[in-house]
Amino acid sequence: MKYFFVLFFLFSLNLFGQKNQINKRSTYHVNSLATHPFGVFFSRTNHNFKIKASTKTSFNSHISSGNIWLQKVSAFFPTNKADQDYISTIPWNDRIHFFDTETQEHQSTQFEADGVIRQYITSCNIPFLKNHEIQLNTRMFSLDEGKAPFSILTNDNVIESFHSNIAGGEDPFGRRNYEFNQAKIRYTDINDNKIILNNRDFVFSGIDLSYYYYPNINLFEKFGLFTNFGLQTGINFSETNKSLDLGLNAGLTKIFAFKKNNELRLAVSLGLMHTSLAKFSKSNVLLIQNRFLFSTEFNLEYVKHLKKSNYISLSFGYALQSPFNKKKDFEQIVLDGDRRSTHWHYTFSHLYRFTSANTLTFTYGTDYYAFWFYLRQDFLVDNAPDIQTGLGLKIYIQ
């Protein structure tokens, strides 16, 4: 990741010069947030790489499909200080052998998930004043078995065949020990509040209202630099999480213009989201421990401007998000589960570490519409989702 910062710094200094005229048209950046079984219940930063405010109202809709498989794992949290201190001295994978869940005081949670989460996002962008715009999003998702032909790349059989024949090795997660193409999410928090989702369940999770400002900074634009600032509010409506989220984000884009209307765009965005700033129900499920979620995203995009203001683009993105839970608390957690593979603990242990993903996106746009397709993959194997695809359409209102 450090190489992104080095490259961005060099490019920002304009060491390569800016000899060709920049096309100041914004390309569309896809919302490719992970379809995580917890993350779909609250608002998360949608990083913005546009270089200027829209001049037309637009509507867009997209669907993403992510394959999740998290085997059943129980987590125990000792409440006695002496037990906490003792457990912290034992390697995490051996702690269950030194902790008696029948006699020693503790709190506990249990989590398992399987299936394909499909997230449906519709949004409306409305320009107002100069260099300002607002965006209204609706968030919904469903859970299903992920069977072909409705799931091609995100099908269990396809993923395990890829592991066996191309990369990853034979059954790296012990997935073949369990039945394929199931659909369920089961989670019980420390207060005994539960999430129970089954095949074909549909959830309207919430809405997001975002405000963006695109300042005209002549000194920046002289060097091909464009920036934006955003404020995002999320209202969550599901029975699992009735709450209000609030976040801030900022983006910076460097454009290199070449001959024949070709461009290279290098961008970085930072975001901070305060989840559950206000709670509207005492029965909310405790999804995450970290109220503040930091995230950043890097995007490298090649744009080819065609005739009649049309364009095509291919972009590579790298996203990083801070842990859902507090890393220090992992020192006192006791995990128990079916150890058929070395990855059995990922259900809980990955809630305590930074998550990352890579996204490859193809976009075709005109003055009237844009459509796109993306493929999202986590090479560090957070496994929620294992692989994710998305497609969508944006329409501009004249």
Beta bridge partners of 262: 304
User: What is the model's pLDDT at position 166?
Assistant: 83
* Weakest mean pLDDT among 12-26, 109-123, 125-139, 377-391: 12-26
What values do phi and psi take at 355, rounded to 5? -110, 150
Give residue 16's pLDDT band: very low, low, confident or very high (50, 70, 90): very low
The CATH number of residue 20's host domain is 2.40.160.40
Closest residue by Cα to residue 44 from 322, 299, 393, 349: 322
Q: Is residue 382 over pLDDT 70?
A: no
The whole model's pTM is what? 0.91
10-14, 53-57, 118-122 — most confident range: 118-122
At 225-250, the pLDDT tens digits run 999 999 999 999 999 999 999 999 99
Count Cβ neighbours within 10 Å for each residue of 289-302 and write b for 16 or more, e otherwise. Answer: ebeebebbbbbebe
Token representation of residue 116:
């394909």
Give residue 259's pLDDT band: very low, low, confident or very high (50, 70, 90): confident
Q: What angle is formed at CA 158 by the lines to CA 155 and CA 160, rounded to 5 degrees?
A: 105
Token representation of residue 125:
């962008």
Q: How far apart are CA 53 and CA 93, in angstroms?
A: 51
Q: Is residue 20 over pLDDT 70?
A: no
User: What is the model's pLDDT at position 383?
Assistant: 63
- Parent domain of 126: 2-397
At 120-178, the pLDDT tens digits run 999 999 998 889 999 999 999 999 999 888 888 898 888 888 888 887 778 777 888 88
User: What is the model's pLDDT at position 19?
Assistant: 56
Closest residue by Cα to residue 387 from 72, 187, 163, 111: 163
Across the chain, mean pLDDT equals 90
Q: Is residue 13 over pLDDT 50?
A: no
What values do phi and psi take at 87, rounded to 5? -60, -35
Q: Exposed, middle or buried by CB within 10 Å (0-12, 13-18, 19+), for 164? A: middle
User: What is the model's pLDDT at position 24?
Assistant: 67
Q: How far apart are CA 56 and CA 321, in angstroms?
A: 32
Q: Is residue 17 over pLDDT 50?
A: no
Whether residue 34 contacts residue 357, with contact meaning beta carbons closer than 8 Å, is answered with yes
Q: Is residue 263 over pLDDT 70?
A: yes
Mean pLDDT confidence for 287-303: 95
User: What is the model's pLDDT at position 28?
Assistant: 73
Greater pLDDT, 380 or 308: 308
At 202-226, the pLDDT tens digits run 999 999 999 999 998 988 988 999 9
Stated as kind and residue range, the H or E segment containing 347 is helix 346-349
- Residue 369's contacts (CB-CB under 8 Å, 6 or more residues apart) are 393, 394, 395, 396
Q: Is residue 65 over pLDDT 70?
A: yes
Whether residue 11 contacts residue 226, with contact meaning beta carbons closer than 8 Å, is answered with no
Give residue 30's pLDDT band: very low, low, confident or very high (50, 70, 90): confident
Kindly report whether the peptide bond that precedes residue 127 is cis, defined as omega within 30 degrees of 0: no
User: What is the model's pLDDT at position 54?
Assistant: 87
Please identify which residue in the block is written with the tokens 């129900």: 281
User: What is the model's pLDDT at position 275?
Assistant: 96
Stated as kind and residue range, the H or E segment containing 219 is helix 218-222
Q: What angle is formed at CA 39 by the lines to CA 123 and CA 43, rounded to 5 degrees?
A: 40
Q: Is residue 104 over pLDDT 50?
A: yes
Q: How far apart are CA 324 and CA 335, in angstroms?
A: 17
Q: How far apart are CA 53 and CA 127, in angstroms?
A: 7
Query: What total number of domains does the chain contain?
Result: 1
DSSP helix, strand, coil percent of the chain (3-state; round to 5) = 15, 45, 35
At 170-199, the pLDDT tens digits run 877 788 888 888 999 999 999 999 999 999
User: What is the model's pLDDT at position 15?
Assistant: 43
User: What is the model's pLDDT at position 175?
Assistant: 84
Alpha helices in the chain (DSSP H): 2-12, 81-87, 156-165, 218-222, 346-349
